[in-house]
Amino acid sequence: MGAGLVETQLVAMHEALSGHVERGALPGLVALVARRGQVHVDVIGTKAFGDTEPMERDAIFRIASLTKPIVAAAAMLLVDDGVLRVEDPVDDLLPELANRQVLRRLDSELDETVPATRAITVEDVLTFRLGFGCIMAPPDTYPIQTAVEALDLKTLGPPWPPPPHSPDEWIRRLGTLPLLHQPGEQWLYNTGAQVLGVLIERAAGQPLETFLRERLFDPLGMTDTGFSVPAGRLHRFTTAYAPDPETGALGVLDNVADSWWRKPPALPNGAGWLVGTIDDFWSFAQMLVNAGTHNGTRLLSESSVARMTTDHLSREQRAAAANPFLGGHGWGYGMLVPAAHDDPPSVPGGYGWDGGTGTTWRTDRKADLTCILLSQRAMTSPEAPELFVDFFEHAYRAVAD
C-alpha cells in the first residue's frame, strides 16, 4: 500500500471486522480508510441475515446522524451566498421560534417559564445551543418529555418511525413548547439539526432535498444519497437491525420490503434521515479535507469549513453538558471536533460523528487520516460499540510515516 498505510495492519483490520460478522453481531459492513491519496475499502458480510449474495461496495445504508454534518454544510453554502449570517436571529425565517419562553427548571410544568433573554441565532442552531434538545432521562421523567411525545416531534429520542408532519407543521408544534435553557447557554443534542433543515428550506426557498441535491449531492457525485431509496435501487438497500434492550438479541429495525425509506418522508429530517453509500460519504468527507473543494471546484469557502470543524463551546459549556454524546470533545457545526483546550489526543482524533444505525466517521488532520464505517447494527448508547473501537484502533495502526 506504500508509505501511507501498512498492508499487514489493513489485513488485521479486515480480520477483526470480519470477526464481528462471523460471530453474528451484524450481517455486514463497508469500511473505508484513506490517507495521502490512498483509499482502502473493506466489504464484509451480507446486506441482511440469511442473504446468500455478498455485500457490495455500493450497498445503501441509513447513515443516521451522519446526516447532521451534511446539513450543516448546506447551511454554510447559504452563508457563503450571503443569504444567511451566523450571527443573525432566526426570527424572520422561523417566526415560530421568536419571543421564546424558557422553563424555570427542567422539571417545571410547561407554564412555569421566564422570558428568553435574547433571540435564537443561526449559530445557536448550528452549534446546538438554541436551548432545546435531548434529555438524558427515561421517558416521561419530566413534563416537557411528555409534551414532546404528545406532539410526535421525534426530537428527544430515536427518529423512527418518521414524524407525519410537514416541515412547517413540525416547526409550528415545536414553537408551542418552552425552551429548556436560555439561547446560547448550553449544548443540547439533536434538535438543532432538525430546526436547521427547516431554516435551510425557508432561506433557500426550496425543499431541503432539492437544495441538497443541487448544491451538494450532484456536484459531489453523491448519486445514492437522499431521504428515500428509489425503487430501482432497493436491491442495494441494506436491512437495519437493533438489539433488544433486555436480551441483546437482534431484531429487525427496518427491512427493505416495507421500509420507511421507500418513499420520501413528510419531514426531511436534517438530524438523521439520509441514506447513502460509502463512496458518497467519502466524497463529502474528502471535500472537507480539501478545504471546501472537489475536483478543483470550490463548493464551500475555506472559512466555512474552518467554522464547521472548530470548537464553538466554552470549557464551561462542555462541562455543563455532562453528556456522553460529547465525551469531553468539542462541537463544531453538526459534528464532534477536538476540544479547544489541549487535552491529550485520543483515538479516534479529529472531527466527525456517529450514526445511531451503526455508522461512524472521523477525519484526523494530524494523522492525515479519514475513516468511515457503515454498518447495520444500531447503537444502544452514546458510547462507541466494540465494532467502532476495533475499526479505529486498527485504522490508526495502519498509519505509516
Residue 12 pLDDT exceeds 70 = yes
Res. 1 pLDDT band, cuts 50 70 90 = very low
Average pLDDT over residues 318-327: 75
Residue 163 pLDDT exceeds 70 = yes
Residue 74 pLDDT exceeds 70 = yes
pLDDT tens figures, 323-379? 677 877 999 999 999 988 655 567 899 999 999 999 999 999 999 999 999 999 999
The pTM for the full model equals 0.97
Question: Percentage of residues in the chain with pLDDT exceeding 90?
Answer: 89
Res. 322 pLDDT band, cuts 50 70 90 = low
**Cβ(196)–Cβ(119) below 8 Å:** no
Residue 3 pLDDT exceeds 70 = no
Q: Which three cell numbers stand for residue 239?
A: 436491512
**Of the candidates 215, 303, 281, the residue with the CA atom closest to the CA atom of residue 62:** 281
Res. 245 pLDDT band, cuts 50 70 90 = confident
Q: Which three cell numbers stand for residue 142?
A: 419530566
pLDDT tens figures, 259-307? 999 999 999 999 999 999 999 999 999 999 999 999 999 999 999 999 9
Calculate the average pLDDT of the chain: 95
**Of the candidates 230, 255, 225, the residue with the CA atom closest to the CA atom of residue 240:** 255
Res. 315 pLDDT band, cuts 50 70 90 = confident
Predicted local confidence at residue 343, as pLDDT? 59
Question: Percentage of residues in the chain with pLDDT exceeding 70?
Answer: 97
Domains of the chain and any CATH numbers = 7-66+215-397 (3.40.710.10), 72-204 (3.40.710.10)
Predicted local confidence at residue 326, as pLDDT? 84
Residue 230 pLDDT exceeds 90 = yes
Number of other CB atoms surrounding residue 337 within 10 Å: 20
Residue 127 pLDDT exceeds 50 = yes
CA distance 334 to 6: 32
Question: Which stretch of 92-106, 108-122, 322-336, 353-367 has the lowest confidence by average pLDDT?
Answer: 322-336
Res. 247 pLDDT band, cuts 50 70 90 = confident
Number of other CB atoms surrounding residue 367 within 10 Å: 19
Average pLDDT over residues 384-398: 97
